[in-house]
Structure 1
Amino acid sequence: MERRTFLRGTVIGTSTAAFGGSLWRGAAVAAPAQPGTGPYGALGAADANGIELPGGFTSRVIARSGQTVPGTSYSWHSAPDGGACYADGSGWIYVSNSELPLIGGASAVKFNASGTVTGAYRILNGTNSNCAGGATPWQTWLSCEEVGRGYVYETDPWGVKAAVRRPAMGRFKHEAAACDPERQVIYLTEDETDGCFYRFRPNTWGDLSSGTLEVLVGDTAATSGAVSWAVVPDPDGSPVTRGQVAGAKRFNGGEGCHYAGGVCYFTTKGDNRVWAYDAAASTIDLAYDDSLVPGGAAPLTGVDNVTVASSRDMFVAEDGGNMEICIITPEGTVSPFLRINGQSGSEITGPAFSPDGRRLYFSSQRGTSGNTLGGGITYEVTGPFRG
């Protein structure tokens, strides 16, 4: 998503209670996360790549937009955005969207067991502003178009099968997707100032060709409490999808989302919040709100893409702020995990862990140049991530 051009208001609360680890098991949130000492300690001096990391962690550049991916003959796409990792035998694949208008698409990098790049290739072409997306349990990548009446495309991370447009998942300004295998639904965020939160219920789990699109219904002003779902009558976006259901709960700029342990976490950029939808209880709560940090000392601003590690730590990338990926622990503390220096004209996108949880991949969409065309850099961070 393009860099923020607004400033947040004054602090509106002084709660200092942390939410409990039970949140990660699907229970309600006691209170939004507050600043604290992270599990990996303070950030060290910037490394050769300009990245500040905790002790024991190292970074490397995997690819640069417009340049050949080292070890391959493939030129990496511009404006890298949402991403995910897939197991590939003893190695893995990292998939990344391209948020370029009218070009869009997605690419993949393949790694062997030692982490050496062994290939790179295109998996989606001819789409429009592919922002975030999400992985499915059946090992496909859902690439989302962030344009009015945008589509979701189901793609093959191995690049063997042709990508398929999935119109049944609705046409709107798509941002991210997260699969809930327990309820057999897919949650979807919408990047509009009065956007909605959706779920798609396939007629057959694993087949996205048909199904029912639903929208979350509830009090827009409420930050916690019970919510429900209502069917969207015309998911083709005519009339406008988010305007079809009276009482639909509104969110200020939906961004990343991730499902883990009975909870779908999603972010909203307009109010710098991380939400937690408890799928079993059908309730919603705040996991983080920068305006509830006392003294205006919020470590996490410009909330964007999000992923959750096997440790249940949540990693939230910033679009704006000071170019950090921040960590929110199950104990309810929020702190910087890494910081990129010298790239204030960019945003961090696509955080995703390798299948073994030892490597974190992400991109700086516009890099040091601040240019959408040719400025992107995709990184890997390796270190003692807790399990």
Structure 2
Amino acid sequence: MHRRTLLRTGGLTAGAAFAGSLWQGAACAAAVAPGSVHVTARRGASPYGPPGAPDANGVALPPGFTSRIVARTGRRVGGMLWHAAPDGGACFADGDGWIYVSNSEIPLLGGASAIRFGPGGEIREAYRILSGTNLNCAGGRTPWNTWLSCEEILRGRVFECDPYGERAAMPRLAMGRFKHEAAACDPDREVVYLTEDESDGCFYRFRPAEWGDLTAGRLEVLCATSDTGPVTWQRVPNPAAPLIPTRHQVGAAKHFSGGEGCHYDGGVCFFTTKGDNRVWAYDAENERLEIVYDADSPLTGVDNITGTPAGDLYVAEDGGNMEINLITPDREVTPFLRIEGHAKSEITGPAFSPDGTRLYFSSQRGARGDAAGTDGVTYEVTGPFRR
């Protein structure tokens, strides 16, 4: 099911107005009272069943799913020591196997590493793809198979990295100098969406001068007067922001409370904001902003987000009770998995293998929960995911 179905069937809103084209032709329109523009987020039953008792790795999973630990901070994996504070991640096809890339959200040494898997899931090797950067939080993959690693610092940069480890990572300064969080590519409009982790952060899009080359282009900021409805975009006058932050350069810019993960598919870019615990949807086809999730339970501490071709969104919690929650196309929110015993950590980097059968993610600070992330754990879950 296409991800736009989530919007066409009303999304998951609490007090958010949906109108116009998002309702037209909706498969579930009959379930909404005539004239109604409100749909309340609701907790529903998981298509996989509820998470069971924790397994040997401390991961509570639905029936039919299994977990394994693929890497631990400070321990060798594939010939290298795995980095501290694992954060945003993505998967890439690699011949008969695949690669999982993971950022390191630590000061000064940050960067990103990669694990190469064989066709049966065996670990072939691991290696660094970015070093010497600062607090690399989230990011995003590109259609041309590179990884955008984002620095979550004042005047942070976006680095374009080669997940295959053959080319040196390069800063893409035209994408702006701000507290970058995540990136999501929209190949239909040939833009890259960017979130900003500030209490009054903005939502941006970068329009490269040539699609596939991020060295030059135009940085724009989303402008709107309300939380839902039509939006416009305005150019950021000075993306380098040596004196005035990018989020303060355009008076009409809409501000969001702590931008986190973002994920694009099928004409919609979903993104999360931790300050108000919301999941948003930017309908790029109609240039409208909507709220997908706005509630306190079951999803708490919204952070990284990914999805599947079936239209399911997987949202990781920063804190909460250490769950990855599932948002289905029929407007139901339900826990998918839970990590037990990691109360002072957060779940980061959810990403599916290219064939959709394996989900990777990390507990950034692990069971010890130390701020330096020296007890980080990276997991793999295998099972009958909807694809």
Taking structure 2 as the reference length, the TM-score comes to 0.90
| Correspondence list, 1:137-152, <5 A | 137-152=143-158
Cα drift, residue 321 of structure 1:
0.7
Q: In 2, are the aligned partners of 1:33 and 1:328 still within 8 Å (CA)? A: no
SS in 1 for 2:174: helix
Cα drift, residue 311 of structure 1:
1.1
| Correspondence list, 1:262-341, <5 A | 262-291=267-296, 298-341=297-340
SS in 2 for 1:236: coil
Cα drift, residue 33 of structure 1:
3.4
Cα 1:21–1:252 shift into 2, 3 Å = farther
Which residue is 1:96 aligned to? 102
Cα 1:190–1:251 shift into 2, 3 Å = same
| Correspondence list, 1:10-29, <5 A | none
Q: In 2, are the aligned partners of 1:186 and 1:201 still within 8 Å (CA)? A: yes
Cα drift, residue 108 of structure 1:
0.2
Cα drift, residue 90 of structure 1:
1.4
Cα drift, residue 32 of structure 1:
5.5
Cα 1:118–1:13 shift into 2, 3 Å = closer
Once residues 377 and 176 of structure 2 are traced to their aligned partners in structure 1, the CA distance between those partners, rounded to angstroms, is 31
Partner deviation per Cα, 1:45-89 (whole Å, 9 max, x = no partner): 1100111000000000000000001xx211000000000000001
Once residues 378 and 23 of structure 1 are traced to their aligned partners in structure 2, the CA distance between those partners, rounded to angstroms, is 39
- The one-letter code matched in structure 2 to 1:168 is A
Once residues 367 and 237 of structure 1 are traced to their aligned partners in structure 2, the CA distance between those partners, rounded to angstroms, is 36
Once residues 156 and 186 of structure 1 are traced to their aligned partners in structure 2, the CA distance between those partners, rounded to angstroms, is 17
- The one-letter code matched in structure 1 to 2:84 is S
Which residue is 2:343 aligned to? 344
Q: In 2, are the aligned partners of 1:83 and 1:132 still within 8 Å (CA)? A: yes
The runs of at least 4 consecutive aligned structure 1 residues that moved more than 4 Å come to 12-15, 19-24
Partner deviation per Cα, 1:339-377 (whole Å, 9 max, x = no partner): 000000100000000000000000000001112242100
Which residue is 2:113 aligned to? 107
SS in 1 for 2:128: strand
* Equivalent residues, number: 360
Cα 1:142–1:217 shift into 2, 3 Å = same
Once residues 107 and 231 of structure 1 are traced to their aligned partners in structure 2, the CA distance between those partners, rounded to angstroms, is 34
Gaps of 5+ in 2: 1-12, 28-36
SS in 2 for 1:274: strand
Once residues 236 and 150 of structure 2 are traced to their aligned partners in structure 1, the CA distance between those partners, rounded to angstroms, is 19
Once residues 362 and 122 of structure 2 are traced to their aligned partners in structure 1, the CA distance between those partners, rounded to angstroms, is 18
- The one-letter code matched in structure 1 to 2:385 is F
Cα drift, residue 23 of structure 1:
8.6
Partner deviation per Cα, 1:67-118 (whole Å, 9 max, x = no partner): 001xx21100000000000000110000000000111100000001111110
Which residue is 2:34 aligned to? none
Cα 1:191–1:258 shift into 2, 3 Å = same
Which residue is 1:37 aligned to? 45
Q: Check if 1:226 corresponds to 2:234.
A: no
Which residue is 1:134 aligned to? 140
Once residues 236 and 282 of structure 2 are traced to their aligned partners in structure 1, the CA distance between those partners, rounded to angstroms, is 19
Q: In 1, are the aligned partners of 2:15 and 2:40 still within 8 Å (CA)? A: no
Q: In 1, are the aligned partners of 2:222 and 2:253 still within 8 Å (CA)? A: yes
Q: In 2, are the aligned partners of 1:31 and 1:286 still within 8 Å (CA)? A: no
Shifted more, 312-321 versus 234-243: the winner is 234-243
- The one-letter code matched in structure 2 to 1:107 is S
Q: Check if 1:253 corresponds to 2:258.
A: yes
Taking structure 1 as the reference length, the TM-score comes to 0.90
- The one-letter code matched in structure 2 to 1:380 is E
* 2:223 alignment partner, one of 203, 206, 217: 217
- The one-letter code matched in structure 2 to 1:383 is G
Which residue is 1:382 aligned to? 382
SS in 2 for 1:78: coil
Q: In 1, are the aligned partners of 2:184 and 2:194 still within 8 Å (CA)? A: yes
Once residues 30 and 379 of structure 1 are traced to their aligned partners in structure 2, the CA distance between those partners, rounded to angstroms, is 38
- The one-letter code matched in structure 1 to 2:223 is V
- The one-letter code matched in structure 1 to 2:377 is I
- The one-letter code matched in structure 2 to 1:55 is P
| Correspondence list, 1:17-96, <5 A | 31=39, 33-69=41-77, 72-96=78-102
- The one-letter code matched in structure 1 to 2:113 is S
Which residue is 1:120 aligned to? 126
Q: In 2, are the aligned partners of 1:66 and 1:77 still within 8 Å (CA)? A: yes
